[in-house]
Amino acid sequence: MSASTEPDIAARYDAECARAYARMHRGSWLRRLSSWRELRLGRRALRLAGDPESVLDLPCGTGRFWPMLARTPARRLLAGDARPEMLAVARAMAPPALLARFEVAPMNAFTLPLADASVAHVFCMRLLHHFAAAEDRLRLLREIHRVAGTGATVSVWVDGNLQSWRRRRQQARRTPDHPPNRVVVPRAVIEAECAAAGFRVRRRLDALPGIGKRRLYVLDKC
């Protein structure tokens, strides 16, 4: 039995949580710096992927990556999220010209309402680290593989850095009644799961090498 599903995560967000999420990345200077770094890594990942002609932003949250994704004028853009409140905030915050570039729809990442290979590249940020169960991550990666024509970019929390060491110390102090809702995955494990889903790693991009736990994998579809 799967340990978690995307609707479980979606249920944690009401309208106020969605608005708070949008404000969060514009809060402290550390948050702004982290967001700036993540956007730069996202741009680099798409360049490494060959500037794909179509991209699915999944989950799109409140549209934080939309301006970056739309910098390529001819690119077809799709955006999906399982949380209606997130989509509502994304639509409300986006300038009309930017919103018009996107096909926005509710989407459960485990059962995407898209045909096989219907989008060149799937841009999946801040989702995989919510799943502690390997079968959940593999289900998600296989669904991304199904709809992607050429490849994907996924972000994960990986081991082998200072933040992951601190995170695991924190998790060790949790009681079984309060399991973590975000997890660090060993690098060898997530890379094996990507391979099992049918991907080959093109490039690994670390937000803060040796310090930060967030890593982007640029994946090619085998």
**pLDDT by residue (tens digit) across 71-92?**
999 999 999 999 999 999 999 9
Whole-model pTM: value is: 0.87
Q: H-type helices in the chain, by residue range? A: 6-10, 15-24, 29-48, 66-69, 84-93, 96-99, 134-147, 162-172, 187-196
Q: What percent of the chain has pLDDT over 90?
A: 75
pLDDT score for 8: 58
- pLDDT of 1 > 50? The answer is no
**pLDDT band at 14; cut points 50, 70, 90:** low
Q: Token pair 């249920």 is at which residue?
A: 11
pLDDT, average across residues 15-43: 76
Element holding 120 (H helix, E strand) = strand 119-124
Q: What one-character-per-residue DSSP string does 58-74 give?
A: SS-TTTTTHHHHTTSTT
pLDDT score for 173: 74
Q: Token pair 């200077």 is at which residue?
A: 29
Q: pLDDT per residue over 172-221, tens digit each? A: 776 666 666 789 999 999 999 999 999 999 999 999 999 999 999 999 99
Structurally, at CATH architecture level, domain 6-221 sits in 3-Layer(aba) Sandwich (3.40)
CB 217 within 8 A of CB 156: yes
pLDDT score for 21: 62
pLDDT score for 33: 81
Mean pLDDT (the chain, rounded): 89
pLDDT score for 3: 45
Q: Tell me how crowded residue 21 is: count the other CB atoms within 10 A of its CB.
A: 17
Structure tokens at 84: 């209606």
Q: Tell me how crowded residue 83 is: count the other CB atoms within 10 A of its CB.
A: 26
- Report domain extents, the chain: 6-221
Q: What percent of the chain has pLDDT over 70?
A: 85
pLDDT, average across residues 148-159: 98
